[in-house]
Structure 1
Amino acid sequence: LHQVIVIGHEKGHGEEFRNGGSAKPWGNEKALRYMRVAETEGIPIHFYIFTPGAYPIEDYPGAAQQIARNLYFMSKLKVPTVAFISEGGSGGAEAIGLADIRLMASRGYYSVISPEGAAAIEGKLKEGERPSRELLEFCARQLKITAEDNLRLGTIDRIVPEPPLGARRYDYQFFKRLRYEMIRATDEVILRTKSLKAFRSYALKRKSEEENPPDEFDIYVRWELSEVEIEKLLDLRSKKYRGMSRHVLGLSKRCLKDYFEKTQDVGLRLYHDLRYGLLKQGQRVIQRMIEDLSGEGAAFLKQLTEPIKSAYDLLASKPRRTRAKVVAEETALIDLPELYVSPLALEDRTVTCPNAETHGCPDIWVPDLYGEFCGVCPNCGYHFPLEYQWYLSNIFDAKSVKEFNEDIEAGNPLGFEGYDKKLALAKKRTGRNSGIITFQARIGGISLICAMLIADFRQGTVGVAEGEKFIQACDRARITKRPFLAFVHTTGGIRIHEGTLGVVQMPRCTMAVREYIDAGGLYLVVYDNNSYAGPVASFLGCSPYQFAIRSTRIGFAGPRVIRETTGEDVPPDYHSAENALRRGHIQGIWDRRELRKKLYEAFLSMGGKNLYYR
């Protein structure tokens, strides 16, 4: 008899509290709570995914933030996990979808967005306007949402056959098959971690070829793992998700370059482990010993000399003078020369601040606003959007920005009709190959690794290329023991034209972040302008240190999506940085003009002893 914890979506018709399977933030928090129970008791988990998507509200714990917490925890969950997808709606499915084996119903769907949502974007429809049937069918085909599509893309592991019209409540033969497949998948996950497994693995493989599942299993696999087996389980899970979707990038074709980069990574790892690991650890031990001896000696001498000193002061009758302590000023942060001038500053006109009616702000001359004022209203502090080039030139030390992985470029892995032209236009207009820039830089002499999502390239949306670049930047920060900064100039979510290959970047990147933080890294996220959807609900929202530039908007879904999903309107400031701070989603709001200083202070005061400069 095996024990298992079951976590899944309830999708009843007519039950209002179930929201048609759309879990609210506290529903996903409940799922996380029982994942912890399963880990404590060492019980495997079976996830049943049947949701059109998460319910888009920002109330604590927050739709995006709770999905990010779930993914972060599931990436290193110390028990076997198996997921079955019937209806997989984007981030809502990922909230309980990071599993060791992912099964899918043959008549189900798994998608980055609903065909209706994709049609509204592709057709540029106004709010309330309904897409045509032809456009809906076009988007449904292009998104590759079926079980066969996802199996071919590698986002699921196996398909569970359903009746021709899909499974119904009384299809007992289907549920018998499903039970068999879930148990078999759990056995497979367990056996992968075992050293003695050859005959049982072969027997399980032969049983999978049978049309009718047996009533009882004649192969026994104990669902318990030792510490060594748990480590292997986590390693296999990491490799599974890190390898997911990489095949579409064509990285295997760069054999010589890949070999050189792997050799370089091994060299970097050995160098930094030796310099900042072994040698620095020994240095710290000696330093602590010297400090302890010095402190003990000073305390002992003070006990001996204090009575003599007190008697002398009494006899001499001289007032005790305290010497003023002079604290040296930090000279690391010096003002940078103006290296970048915004093109907006060249326009001879005035603009009106959005807060003019409520705060009485006068019109601002554009050359002053985008020059001396750094895009900030001098009266109320409203932050106008600025180009990402401004940050590259004014936040990091001069000539310290060195990009890497520029050759990894965004593509059209689904063959989405008409998308190649849009992608080529974005590349030509921006001179970039993807929506993310990864680079090494310095702030006040402190070396760091940065991944910057930029608005200019497809609104900073994340696809396979962006996910791969983020993961490699995260790995470089881990190897070199550098702090890792994710600067979100803007992100519009997961790129819908890449389908579920884009969706799986959520667990992939979160896995890399978890491994970086577990290795002792310092991961900071700074939001600017607009930050929404999948990235916030995964590898950005799981950071322990999240900050926003003033006037930023942060959320899971935009106001239009919320209105169309919930039927309720939201106030204009619903996604404001101030409200995100009140809800506990971020830890602070920074002024753009002080961003360089704030980051420098954060690198000095946050993070553990594993950073190279500690």
Structure 2
Amino acid sequence: MNDLIKQLQRVDQSIGYLIHIKDNSEWGNLAEFQEKAEQLKSAVFDLDKAEFSARLEKLEDSVRFLEERCEEGLTAMERVRIVRSPLRFSLKDILENVYEEHTELGGEGEANIDPSLVVAKANIVRRIKKKPYTSPVMIIGQEVGHGEEFRNGGSCKPWGNEKAMRYMKVAETEGIPIHFYVFTPGSYPVEEYPGAAQQIARNLYTMTKLRVPMISVISEGGSGGAEAVGMSDFRLMFSHGYYSVISPEGAAAIEGRVKEGQKVSPELIERCARQLNITAADNLRLGTVDRVIQEPPLGAKTDDFSFFARIRSEIIRATDEVVLKTKSVRGFRSYEVKRKKAESPDEAPQIDIPWDLGPKETERLLRERSKKYRGMSMHSFGVINIPTENMFKFLYSVSEKLWYTFRYDVLKNQHKQIQKTLKEVSGEGTALVNGLIAPFASVYKKIVTQDEKKKAIATSPTIAAQASGDYCIIPDPLELTDTYTSPLANEDRTVTCPNAEKHGCQDLWIPDLYGEFCGVCENCGYHFPLEYQWYLKNVFDPGSVRIFNNEIFSRNPLNYEGFDERLKAARSRTGMGSANLTFDARVKDINLVVTMLFSDFRNGTVGSAEGEKFVRACDRARRKKRPLLAYVHTTGGIRIQEGTLGVAQMPKCTMAVREYIDAGGLYIVMYDNNSYAGPVASFLGCSPYQFAIRSSRIGFAGPRVIRETTGIDIPPDYHDARNALKRGHIQGITDRRDFRRHLYQVMQTMGSPSLYYR
């Protein structure tokens, strides 16, 4: 009878699981079956064994039939509920059933630095021709727990992601592979140091060039939180998991313009889940994951031990494939692995593939990783193709590369070597030479002093130079060019400064505010928003702005309902094809490449077109040996209508930034207005030189998201630039009126003196 009672418990659990997946007890008479299970529980000692067994078997058959029906027609939102079920396996289950002799690093349980993120050093056993081969690996991933509140549902705090980065570097030092497991609805949105967005950006920047094989496996992947430990050489995904730019509920709240406190309709949530293309099959088709690990019907649970054997096989297979791509004699080995896998997916290859890499193999690994991410989402933006023009651009870029390589890498390096040699030789004979040239030194000093005085007069805005008996003021070349006045200045009325009550600011006459005052309150310094055209015309030298890559435009790769019309309206209103404007410009005597995210086009959100333009700007700055400025007029984050194709821009653009910086480039980020979410958590936040224009707001998530996620009401100034400076997320705050001067100063002082443009 005990076995029958256990069987009844399993059936009752299955009914509850189906109700959870369907979010409806009326589907398939589940409520009736639940009532029958309760009746059997209460009659367990009243019925004889034969009758109890017969009624239980009939109920079990009915439930099994419903499970099959449910599996056949699983919707995207139902897969989300499967992942969120407390019955689903977690990282701890994988550690105990896939790996051996694991040791947690950074604390255990509640004593962990962040219990939501687990790091463990473990061994994994590969059986080759019945002989065991033990290999050490580093395991990093989120832990949702089984009812443990301190795990925070796998939502990591910034210091948890910092711990992950620290042990990534340990794995790199030890030369062992890293296996990432993604079990997170998203990162915990707090800005306290090291900051949610900034730490994810640091993680991505580190992962771009980690010199060990990296494999990631996705169960629940929520946007930036997933990317914090999700970038890898090979991405696996569980068949019943989901990977998304935003939760379906969050997308529905945005799409339905639902006010805080109001309930989102289930129908809208279901529609958004479907349109976001969040399932494993969707992501495999889009190219954001490399392979899918099949789960049992309705998803794997904690006691599906055969499934854990499959995970072991797939993670070994993926690591082997990544390593094989780096080997000089990889042809035969690759063939051997594929042949054996074709025979049996769960059977290990019959060859021993060492997972440690030599220097040349490591370089191949990094090249393959760069190629992988550079190639992501290339099909999801539009390009206006003119064959003749494309050929001309190609030839021009090749000639540019040759010229700048010769000019900077050959001539300038030779020049530096000659200077170094002369300096060393002259240093040894300084005492002797000084005695010989002493008579001439005083004459030379007088000439130089006169030249310096002339130069000071020519460059100072406050020194009057006398010419033909008249005095004239020489303009400061670093003052704003003042060649453009905002159209906002045409209104004949006054506006009240938001700080009027606090600082006693007088009402401002709009023609003055947006004209002479550059949108800045003269009393308290509050910066009113200005259009991006103001910066184009006033910050950079007149006539120096040359736009490139304007032929790339945003599309609707997921066929998201209603999004084509919204894109069309944005193009019509702005005359632009995307929210990223890339151009060459000049500030005084320094040429630079600029990538500008602006608010007019879809609130500066980043999709595939914006990401590709950013990558090409990095390549252009690298080719031309110029500084790269990312001016963020506004960014609302990753464009949700492009799903994980938008999320892919986070690692893709960070890879481009890393390669540009490694080549000797100076990457500067300047925030303005509002800058949030994915871009700040990746290719913007990874810059070593980040600044903000006064009155701007910078962060990972807005006040409403933070309140709904954490239950915490943040203070009004939580995201202010001043607080970002205190937290160490940015390196300085500048007045809009000093932007041009500050930018020039940064380009002259930041980075190494050996930077190519200097």
- Shorter-chain TM-score tier: over 0.9
Superposed, 1:459-470 pairs within 5 Å as 459-470=603-614
Query: Is the counterpart of residue 190 in structure 1 residue 317 in structure 2?
Result: no
Match of 2:656 among 491, 495, 512: 512
CA contact (8 A) 1:483 1:603 kept: yes
Name the counterpart of 1:316: none
Superposed, 1:345-356 pairs within 5 Å as 345-356=489-500
Name the counterpart of 2:722: 578
Name the counterpart of 1:47: 180
- Between the aligned partners of 1:250 and 1:487, the Cα distance in structure 2 is 24
- Between the aligned partners of 2:578 and 2:358, the Cα distance in structure 1 is 43
CA shift for structure 1 position 604: 1.2
- Between the aligned partners of 1:502 and 1:471, the Cα distance in structure 2 is 14
Superposed, 1:306-321 pairs within 5 Å as none
Q: After superposition, give the CA deviation of every residue in 1:333-392 in whole Å (9 maximum; x if it has no partner).
A: 254553222111111111111111111111111111000100000000011100000000
CA contact (8 A) 2:585 2:592 kept: yes
Name the counterpart of 2:632: 488
Name the counterpart of 1:312: none
Superposed, 1:574-613 pairs within 5 Å as 574-609=718-753, 611-613=755-757
- Between the aligned partners of 2:298 and 2:643, the Cα distance in structure 1 is 25
CA shift for structure 1 position 429: 0.4
Superposed, 1:142-153 pairs within 5 Å as 142-153=275-286
CA contact (8 A) 1:521 1:610 kept: no
Distance change in 2, residues 1:221/1:258 (3 Å): farther
Q: Secondary structure at the match of 1:524?
A: strand
Name the counterpart of 1:213: 346
CA contact (8 A) 1:482 1:611 kept: no
CA contact (8 A) 1:520 1:609 kept: no
Query: Is the counterpart of residue 229 in structure 1 residue 335 in structure 2?
Result: no
Q: Secondary structure at the match of 1:562?
A: helix
Name the counterpart of 2:260: 127
CA shift for structure 1 position 130: 1.4
Match of 1:27 among 160, 165, 169: 160
Superposed, 1:133-532 pairs within 5 Å as 133-210=266-343, 213-214=346-347, 217-249=349-381, 257-302=389-434, 326=453, 328-329=455-456, 331=459, 333-335=477-479, 337-532=481-676
CA shift for structure 1 position 259: 4.3
Q: Secondary structure at the match of 2:683?
A: coil
CA contact (8 A) 2:382 2:554 kept: no
Aligned residues: 598
CA shift for structure 1 position 298: 3.9
Q: Secondary structure at the match of 2:209?
A: coil
CA shift for structure 1 position 606: 1.7
CA shift for structure 1 position 15: 2.1
Match of 1:99 among 232, 236, 254: 232
- Between the aligned partners of 1:212 and 1:239, the Cα distance in structure 2 is 27
CA shift for structure 1 position 304: 8.6
- Between the aligned partners of 2:623 and 2:350, the Cα distance in structure 1 is 46
Amino acid at match of 1:587: Q
Structure 1: runs of 5 or more not aligned: 309-322
Q: Percent identity?
A: 65
Distance change in 2, residues 1:20/1:515 (3 Å): same
CA shift for structure 1 position 533: 0.2
CA contact (8 A) 1:480 1:612 kept: no
Q: After superposition, give the CA deviation of every residue in 1:161-215 in whole Å (9 maximum; x if it has no partner).
A: 011111111111111101100000000000001121222211211233345513x
- Between the aligned partners of 1:197 and 1:293, the Cα distance in structure 2 is 51
CA shift for structure 1 position 276: 1.1
Q: Secondary structure at the match of 2:684?
A: coil
- Between the aligned partners of 1:584 and 1:533, the Cα distance in structure 2 is 18
- Between the aligned partners of 2:325 and 2:703, the Cα distance in structure 1 is 46
- Between the aligned partners of 2:704 and 2:352, the Cα distance in structure 1 is 52
Q: Secondary structure at the match of 1:96?
A: coil
Distance change in 2, residues 1:219/1:336 (3 Å): same
CA shift for structure 1 position 13: 3.6
- Between the aligned partners of 2:392 and 2:338, the Cα distance in structure 1 is 38
Q: Secondary structure at the match of 1:170?
A: coil
Distance change in 2, residues 1:210/1:370 (3 Å): same
Distance change in 2, residues 1:610/1:424 (3 Å): farther
Distance change in 2, residues 1:514/1:382 (3 Å): same
CA shift for structure 1 position 217: 4.5
- Between the aligned partners of 1:88 and 1:375, the Cα distance in structure 2 is 42
CA shift for structure 1 position 609: 4.8
- Between the aligned partners of 2:150 and 2:453, the Cα distance in structure 1 is 64
Q: After superposition, give the CA deviation of every residue in 1:206-229 in whole Å (9 maximum; x if it has no partner).
A: 233345513x55221011111011
Amino acid at match of 1:224: D
Distance change in 2, residues 1:256/1:171 (3 Å): farther
- Between the aligned partners of 1:482 and 1:212, the Cα distance in structure 2 is 50
CA shift for structure 1 position 299: 3.5
- Between the aligned partners of 2:324 and 2:703, the Cα distance in structure 1 is 47
Identify which of structures 1 and 2 has the higher relative contact order when contacts are C-alpha pairs closer than 8 Å and 6+ apart. Answer: 1
CA shift for structure 1 position 154: 0.5
Amino acid at match of 2:145: G
- Between the aligned partners of 1:227 and 1:258, the Cα distance in structure 2 is 37
